[in-house]
Amino acid sequence: MRRIARASGTCSAHGALALLALGSWLLGCAGCPAAFSSPAGGPDGTAPRGGEPPAELVRPGERHLRNLRQLTFGGENAEAYFSFDGTRLVFQSTRPPFACDQIFVMGLEGGTPRLVSTGKGRTTCAYFLPDGQRVLYASTHLDSPDCPPPPDRSRGYVWPVYSGYDLFIATADQPAAVRLTDTPGYDAEATVSPRGDRIVFTSMRDGDLELYSMRLDGSELRRLTHEVGYDGGAFYSPDGSRIVYRRSRFDSEAEVAEYRELLAQGKVRPGKLEIWVMDADGSNKRQVTDFGAASFCPFFHPDGERIIFSSNLHEPRSRNFELYLIRVDGTGLERVTFSEEFDGFPMFSPDGTRLVFCSNRNAARPGETNVFVADWVE
C-alpha cells in the first residue's frame, strides 16, 4: 500500500521528507499531496523544453545502473511498472488539474503521459494486463468523486487505509473503468502473474489486511495469508510460482493491540516491515529479511533467486530509503543505490535488461519524486 521526502500497498507502503510525504504510497501507493508545480519541469510534469538530464544521475557505488534517465520532472510520481512487452510504463501521479493521484501511461522515452483513470477520487497501484491495452488499478471514485481526506495524525504518523478503494480495469487508449471488486473495505495493491492467469491483491474483506488471489475476471478468489498484521505490496516471481510481499513486524503484544486499534480507525502505523516469500497458492511462507526496519516494494530479480527492495535498514530511524538486493534465503545482501535520498518502487523489465524506480534525486524542489529508468548491469 501501492510511497519520505513528500508524497497504500504494492506498494500504497508507498526525498528529504520521504517518510512523511511518501508514507501513503509506501502503504499501498495510496496518497499524495495536491501540490505539483516545479520550475524544473513543465506543468504536466514532463521535461522542460530544451532541458537535459544531468550526467551525475548515477551516484558513486551504483554499479548496477547505467544510462540512467529521468522520465518525469516535478511533482509526485511513483509506482511505475512495465507492460508485459517492456515498452511502456503505468504509474500514478498528482498533476494539474487533479488534486490527488491518478493513473497515467507513458513510453520509455518519457514525454507527455496519457490519463487512464477517471480523474475522480484517488487512485493507486496500477498494473498492465497481459494484452498490453488494459490496466488494472484501485480507485475510490465510486465512493466519492472527491479526494479522500488525509488521516488524523494527532497521535503520531500513520498511513490511511481508505475503505472506498476497489479494483478496476480500464483500457489505456479509451478509459472506461470496469469494476472488478465490490466488497466493503479496502481492495488495492493488485499485480498480475507473468503467466497472465491470476491477480494478487490486498483486501480488508475479512477484517484484516490480507493477501488474496483471483483470476483476471474476478473469479476463483483465494485467501493467501491469515496472520495478524498488514500483508501487502505483493508481486509474482518471473515464472509465476511464488509471491514476494511485505508484512508487519510486531515485537510485543502492545504493538499488536495498537495495530488492531488503528486499523479499526482506517489507519496503519509504519515503521517495521519485513520481506516474505510464499508459493503462489499461499503455502510455504518464509521470512527473507529480519532487520526491524521499514522494508517494502519487493520485486523478484529476473533470475528468480534474488529480490530487490527499498529499505532504511542502514539507519532504521532515517527517512532515506535505498534499494537493496537479497537472496530469497536471506543471504547475500547488497546495496544498489547510494543517493542519500529516497529511492523506491523498483521493477525489472520482463527481459531483465532495465530497472525502473522512483527517486527524489535531481529534485528541483524538496519532496519531488520522479520516475527513472536505467540499463541493468550485473
The Cα 286–Cα 292 span in angstroms is 16
The CATH number linked to 167 is 2.120.10.30
Q: Is residue 170 part of a domain?
A: yes
State pLDDT tens for residues 284-294: 999 999 999 99
Task: Identify the burial level of 30 via C-beta atoms within 10 angstroms of its C-beta, where 0-12 means exposed, 13-18 middle and 19 or more buried.
Answer: buried
Residue 149 is given by DSSP the state P
19 contacts 27 by C-beta, under 8 angstroms: no
Number of domains in the chain: 1
Closest to 57 measured CA to CA, from 378, 372, 377: 372
* CB atoms inside a 10 Å sphere around CB 11: 35
User: For the chain, how long is the longest CA-to-CA vector?
Assistant: 57
State pLDDT tens for residues 104-159: 999 999 888 999 999 999 999 999 999 999 999 999 999 999 999 988 888 788 88
Q: Is residue 4 part of a domain?
A: no
DSSP states of 8-66 as a string?
--------TTHHHHSHHHHTTS----S----TTS-TTSSPPTT----GGGSPTT-TTEE
Helix (H, G, I), strand (E, B) or coil at 180: coil
Closest to 104 measured CA to CA, from 118, 115, 95, 96: 115
The Cα 40–Cα 361 span in angstroms is 13
Whole-number pLDDT of residue 82? 98
| Amino acid code (one letter) for 192 | V
Phi, psi of 75 (to 5 degrees): 85, -150
Helix (H, G, I), strand (E, B) or coil at 1: coil
- Residue that wins the pLDDT comparison between 279 and 43: 279
| Amino acid code (one letter) for 255 | E
State pLDDT tens for residues 320-370: 899 999 999 999 999 999 998 899 999 999 999 999 999 999 988 888 999
- CA distance from start to end of the chain: 30
Task: Identify the burial level of 42 via C-beta atoms within 10 angstroms of its C-beta, where 0-12 means exposed, 13-18 middle and 19 or more buried.
Answer: middle
Q: Is residue 13 part of a domain?
A: no
What domain range is 291 assigned to? 18-376
Q: Is residue 12 part of a domain?
A: no
Q: Is residue 172 part of a domain?
A: yes
Q: Which grid cell is 52?
A: 537535459
Q: What does the chain come to in residues?
A: 378
Closest to 299 measured CA to CA, from 80, 7, 128, 134: 80
275 contacts 10 by C-beta, under 8 angstroms: no
Using a pLDDT cut of 90, give the percent of the chain over it. 74
Q: Is residue 217 part of a domain?
A: yes
- Mean of the pLDDT values across residues 165-178? 87
Residue 8 has pLDDT above 50, yes or no: no
- For 261, the enclosing helix (H) or strand (E) is helix 253-264
Residue 23 has pLDDT above 60, yes or no: no
Helix (H, G, I), strand (E, B) or coil at 255: helix
Q: Could you tell me the pTM of the whole model?
A: 0.88
Q: Is residue 7 part of a domain?
A: no
Peptide bond into 97 cis (omega under 30): yes
Q: Is residue 368 part of a domain?
A: yes
